[in-house]
């Protein structure tokens, strides 16, 4: 067997769904006969005859391996190459040899029945006491018992990966629609409202009664255009002072709004414009409501995408009307607004959010973690994301809570502004995806002598992307001087399809909520290590489901797995969407036959708590070792010159390799990028 034969067999074996990695080598037996042996890393046992059949069907002209030897991983040398010597020194105890030995034993007259079983052998070592390792050591304090979740190392859990948040208890006289909620809040909390932080930190205040009045003006404007209940519109309004009256005016009119992100430019195609165009097309060409500046830019958008007719409505003209005396009386199960799915391509799906689902989420969050009328929230993320819109605006309107809305560019360009606003307004609840905490950490490390009083903060919610241990632990350490509770960090998981955050981890504690998992166990019953190492990957506990919500982890056959097994996360309950708008194909693939929403995320449960490990297909397998993209991306984000979280890692296949190879994409910081461009600009030009 030559090298080409070996490579052909390796490549073919790697196409088998149960084979993670393999090497084919030739080995001499005691009679100096050369035999090809396949060393396999698998996620489940595979009979030798099945492997023979698999290879024969695909490469009938190749010589088949004499033996298939299943091992835990492919050994490597210090230089990262396959350690062929180590493999060839392994004793061959394959299924074929076991069958031969069984036949030989059964042929002996002295034996009636017999069988041979192969198993791994581990040499036990007697434990050593610390006093033998550390001369003079003695116990001088009582080790307090830590209330933490312990894995039964390597044993399958007897609990199924199913968790129920318990019954949702709705107050008997609560508002049943969002319009009714604003009416109630405007009457009972006339002095509460929205603070808009503008340039130079100038404030503008909109009370809830004023919001109601302007929303009713917009209702009149919408009625004058001929729009009817259940019609859709797209919102393109960057100024939140104008956006909120338009949004609530639609809710009162029964018109269904979809907010799409503002594009950086409108006269050249880009990813955001693609989303706008595809949303407009999938909703059957609805009107677009915008401010005056964007209204003019939409003319370029229309020409760019060769749109024959595009109806543009000005929020200023819609609001320049008398307040409507009557409006659409929505029902709880009607669609309140639409939200785009978080797809990375231009073709996002339109998620339908009902009044009832949104209100259920508000009460579920309040039941899980009660809010007070004195709470103050702060948001600096754009409203095209579901968390700011639902959790840091609609919820606050519903509950009559004061809210602070800061422009995203303020915090992105000035990390300390976030802390300034928190201290100035005595904020109790704020949030950011993981990248926001990373940016703040980097700024605080460069400015170690600045101090803030953050004693008012109850929760720093961390949601919207993978939560990483290094960033939140660094954040907790850097903010210790700010009178911030060490348990203020609040990892959470959510999806717009389930009305945003639906599991929450309160009272975060690293020892309890950071799970260091042995990489070698990721395909089976998870093994937990005491601390992080090169052989582990760390996942953060994101808490139990909210009341009214159930979650489960299933395999590819939709069967519920045991706890401590990674699988597909499915969601069910009072906050789940009724489906995507105008997209029956997506609805059929998104919901299981028994009605559970397939999130597309991978994770596991431990004592009913959800731990997210990544998205489906976001794992890279290199030389038999599993690597989560989030781990690699988090590490690259710490490198100087890389914009934090603007990193993507993926596996690629090459013709000359039997395994995946790693590719990393990143965005350099602007200063370095500009410097490189200047250097290129100074190079002498060559004639062509």
Place of tokens 């603007």: 646
Please check whether residue 658 lies inside any domain of the structure.
Answer: yes
For residue 646, what is the domain's CATH number? Answer: 3.30.300.30
Pairing of strands 232-236, 256-259: parallel
Evaluate whether 569 touches 551 at the Cβ level (below 8 Å).
yes
**φ, ψ dihedrals at 593, nearest 5°:** -65, -25
Please check whether residue 12 lies inside any domain of the structure.
Answer: yes
Could you write out the DSSP letters of every residue in 481-535? GGT--TT-EEEEEEEGGGTEEEEE--S--HHHHEEEEEGGGTTSS--EESS--TT
Strand partners, 572: 550
Query: Which of 84, 106, 128 is the last residue in one of the domains?
Result: 106
Query: Which of 76, 106, 136 is the last residue in one of the domains?
Result: 106
Place of tokens 């039964």: 152
Element housing 563 (H / E): none
Please check whether residue 128 lies inside any domain of the structure.
Answer: no
Dihedral over Cα of 288, 249, 421, 197: its sign:
positive
Q: What is the pLDDT of residue 110?
A: 66
Q: What is the pLDDT of residue 232?
A: 98
- For 162, the token pair is 């199913």
Query: Which of 62, 90, 106 is the last residue in one of the domains?
Result: 106
Place of tokens 């590719």: 663
Q: What is the pLDDT of residue 157?
A: 78
| Separation of alpha carbons 259 and 346, rounded Å | 15
Strand partners, 562: 160
Q: What is the pLDDT of residue 627?
A: 65
Q: What are the strands, taking DSSP E only, across 418-505?
A: 429-432, 459-462, 489-495, 500-504
| Separation of alpha carbons 78 and 71, rounded Å | 20
Beta sheet of 528-529, edge-to-edge order: 528-529, 514-518, 536-540
Exposure on the CB side of residue 464, measured as CA atoms within 13 A: 19
Element housing 420 (H / E): helix 415-425
Question: In this structure, what DSSP letter does residue 638 have?
Answer: T
Q: What is the pLDDT of residue 7?
A: 85
**φ, ψ dihedrals at 400, nearest 5°:** 70, 40
Please check whether residue 74 lies inside any domain of the structure.
Answer: yes
- For 335, the token pair is 């669609």
Please check whether residue 471 lies inside any domain of the structure.
Answer: no
Please check whether residue 24 lies inside any domain of the structure.
Answer: yes
Please check whether residue 63 lies inside any domain of the structure.
Answer: yes
SS3 557: coil
Q: What is the pLDDT of residue 685?
A: 38
Could you write out the DSSP letters of every residue in 181-226? HHHHHHHH-TT-EEEEE-GGG-EEEEEHHHHHHHHHHHHHHHHHHT
Evaluate whether 397 touches 179 at the Cβ level (below 8 Å).
no
Q: What is the mean pLDDT of each run of 10 residues along the chain (688 residues)?
A: 83 86 82 78 82 87 83 78 86 70 73 63 47 52 39 68 95 95 98 92 94 98 97 97 98 98 92 93 97 91 96 97 97 97 69 98 96 95 95 98 96 93 97 93 93 97 91 95 95 95 95 92 90 90 97 95 96 95 92 93 96 76 57 78 80 51 80 48 40
The domain of 93 spans 3-106
Dihedral over Cα of 536, 538, 544, 549: its sign:
negative
- For 571, the token pair is 């969601």
Strand partners, 22: 40
Domains: count for the chain: 2
Q: What is the pLDDT of residue 684?
A: 40
The full length of the chain comes to 688
Please check whether residue 58 lies inside any domain of the structure.
Answer: yes
């Amino acid at each position: 067997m030559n090298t080409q034969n070996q490579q052909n067999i390796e490549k073919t074996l790697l196409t088998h769904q149960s084979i993670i990695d393999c090497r084919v080598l030739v080995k001499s037996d005691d009679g100096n006969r050369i035999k090809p042996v396949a060393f396999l890393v698998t996620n489940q046992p595979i009979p030798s005859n099945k492997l023979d059949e698999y290879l024969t069907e695909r490469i009938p002209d190749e010589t088949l391996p004499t033996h298939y030897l299943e091992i835990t991983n492919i050994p490597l040398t210090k230089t990262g190459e396959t350690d062929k010597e180590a493999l060839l020194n392994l004793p061959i105890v394959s299924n074929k040899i076991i069958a031969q030995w069984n036949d030989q034993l059964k042929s002996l007259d002295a034996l009636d029945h017999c069988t041979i079983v192969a198993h791994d052998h581990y040499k036990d070592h007697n434990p050593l006491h610390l006093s033998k390792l550390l001369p003079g050591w003695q116990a001088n304090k009582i080790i307090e018992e830590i209330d933490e979740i312990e894995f039964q190392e390597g044993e399958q859990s007897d609990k199924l990966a199913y968790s129920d948040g318990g019954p949702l208890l709705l107050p008997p006289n609560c508002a049943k629609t969002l319009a009714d909620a604003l009416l109630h809040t405007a009457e009972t909390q006339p002095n509460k409202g929205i603070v808009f932080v503008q340039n130079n930190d100038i404030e503008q205040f909109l009370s809830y009664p004023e919001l109601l009045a302007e929303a009713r003006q917009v209702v009149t404007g919408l009625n004058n255009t001929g729009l009817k209940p259940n019609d859709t519109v797209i919102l393109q309004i960057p100024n939140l002072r104008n956006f909120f009256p338009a949004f609530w005016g639609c809710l009162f009119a029964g018109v269904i709004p979809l907010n799409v992100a503002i594009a950086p430019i409108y006269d050249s195609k880009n990813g955001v414009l693609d989303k706008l165009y595809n949303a407009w097309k999938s909703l059957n060409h609805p009107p677009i409501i915008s401010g005056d500046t964007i209204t003019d830019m939409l003319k370029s958008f229309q020409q760019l995408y060769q749109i024959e007719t595009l109806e543009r409505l000005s929020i200023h003209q819609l609001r320049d009307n008398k307040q409507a005396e009557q409006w659409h009386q929505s029902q709880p199960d009607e669609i309140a607004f639409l939200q785009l799915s978080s797809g990375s391509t231009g073709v996002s799906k339109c998620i339908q959010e009902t009044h009832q689902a949104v209100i259920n989420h508000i009460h579920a969050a309040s039941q899980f973690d009660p809010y007070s009328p004195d709470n103050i929230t702060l948001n600096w993320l754009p409203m095209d994301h579901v968390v700011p819109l639902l959790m840091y605006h609609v919820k606050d309107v519903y509950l009559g809570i004061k809210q602070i809305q800061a422009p995203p560019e303020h915090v992105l360009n000035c990390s300390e502004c976030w802390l300034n606003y928190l201290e100035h307004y005595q904020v109790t609840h704020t949030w950011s995806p993981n990248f926001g905490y990373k940016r703040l950490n980097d700024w605080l490390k460069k400015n170690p002598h600045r101090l803030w009083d953050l004693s008012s903060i109850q929760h720093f919610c961390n949601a919207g992307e993978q939560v990483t241990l290094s960033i939140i632990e660094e954040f907790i350490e850097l903010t210790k001087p700010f009178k911030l509770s060490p348990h203020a960090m609040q990892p959470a998981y959510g999806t717009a399809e389930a009305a945003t955050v639906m599991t929450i981890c309160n009272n975060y504690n690293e020892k309890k909520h950071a799970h260091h998992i042995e990489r070698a166990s990721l395909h089976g019953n998870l093994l937990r290590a005491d601390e992080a190492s090169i052989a582990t990957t760390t996942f953060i506990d994101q808490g139990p489901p909210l009341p009214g919500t159930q979650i489960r982890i299933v395999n590819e056959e939709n069967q519920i797995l045991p706890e401590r097994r990674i699988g597909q996360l499915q969601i069910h309950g009072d906050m789940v969407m009724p489906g995507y708008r105008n997209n029956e194909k997506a609805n059929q693939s998104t919901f299981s036959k028994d009605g559970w929403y397939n999130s597309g995320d991978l994770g596991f449960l431990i004592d009913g708590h959800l731990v997210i490990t990544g998205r489906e297909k976001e794992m890279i397998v290199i030389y038999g070792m599993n690597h989560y993209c989030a781990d690699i991306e988090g590490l690259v984000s710490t490198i100087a010159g890389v914009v934090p979280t603007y990193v993507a890692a993926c596996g690629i296949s090459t013709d000359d390799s039997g395994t995946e190879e790693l590719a990393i994409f990143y965005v350099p910081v602007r200063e370095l990028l500009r410097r490189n461009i200047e250097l290129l600009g100074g190079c002498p030009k060559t004639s062509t």
